[in-house]
Amino acid sequence: MSEIDQSGFGEQIADSVESFLLALRAIAREGNGSQAVSLLLLEISQVLLAGARLGAQTDFTPREEFQPDVGPEADIDDLRLRLAEMLEGIDAYTFVFDPYVPEVVESRLSDDLASIAIDLENGLRHFRGGNVDEALWWWQFSYVNNWGNLAGAALNALLTVVAHDRFDTDFDADAEAIAVADEMLEGSPAPRP
């Protein structure tokens, strides 16, 4: 990828990263757990597209052997705590980190989303500091080694919450509703063929 192409690509990834971070903070600040699941599904899916684009590229090479200092990491403790409180009933989940070495990992959505935010924010600080090479290298490296897997696991956990919400039924309540409907229909005239 040429330097011009790399700069444009970096801008696209930075836009995706910034959008995810802004949305994650807004979701946590809003504190609406019922809306959060759907919004997090959307935001995680979008940032995973950026990650997949990074993963599909040839390895980026940073200019320097050691990562330049871009200052302290963002304080995400408040974000993590707000997410944990909002997602209280579904925060804890399990997943398989490496399907080729299947070992179940216990985790928390709030911790994983905070970890993803730290990785993405670190690359964004490099990008904003004018070091596109380092930003792309960091985003790609951390996608393959950490945040890509965590985002995929979180996406799967949230999708499972949606599936349970939409498809799990209370059979006793359904049977009761059917019995009431049957009683109502018994007193009605028969429908025409």
Q: Where are the domains of the chain?
A: 3-186
- CA–CA separation, 67 vs 62, rounded Å? 8
Backbone angles phi, psi at 75, to 5 degrees: -80, 110
pLDDT tens figures, 32-60: 887 899 999 999 999 999 999 999 988 88
pLDDT at 146 (0 to 100) = 94
CA distance 70 to 193: 76
pLDDT at 81: 96
3-186 homologous superfamily: Protein of unknown function DUF5063 (1.20.120.1550)
107 forms beta bridges with: 93
Provide the whole-model pTM.
0.80
pLDDT tens-place string over residues 106-140: 999 999 999 999 999 999 999 999 999 999 999 99
